[in-house]
Amino acid sequence: MSMASLRTPLLCLLVLVVTEGWAQQTLLPGCYMRPLNVTVRSDRLGSCRGSRVVLGCAGYCESSSYPSEYSVMEATDYRHNITSVSQCCTIGSMRKVKVWIKCPGGWYRGMDIYTAKTCKCEACLFWRY
């Protein structure tokens, strides 16, 4: 058997193993980085534009709810009978990346934008989402 004939099955196996790992990651609870394609335009017509793939955070985190304590229900005139503790998937840390913008005259350095460096589950804050 030649080396060329051995490489093809190994390559196919490697692709299957890698894609299977990605599929499993999306099924597990948690907060993961996901690629997003961002396009920057100079105006509505897009005379100058540039694109870049950045990372965002998506997924889900553990949340729970339980009956409120009697003192809480009494203080809220019995309107707050369930207490919930929620966590949301959010960016843990960021880093700057450059978007290069192409104009009719050639390439120009564009602007700095942020991409996720890490993701985390954190208490949901209403003003953030």
How confident is the model at residue 4, as a pLDDT?
A: 42
| pTM of the full structure | 0.60
d(CA 26, CA 122): 19
- Say yes or no to pLDDT of 21 above 90: no
Q: Locate 31 and state its tokens.
A: 């907060």
Per CATH, is 30-128 categorized as 2.70.98.60?
Answer: no
Q: Locate 62 and state its tokens.
A: 């553990």
- Say yes or no to pLDDT of 8 above 60: no
Domain ranges in the chain are 30-128
33 and 50 in contact (C-beta within 8 Å)?
Answer: no
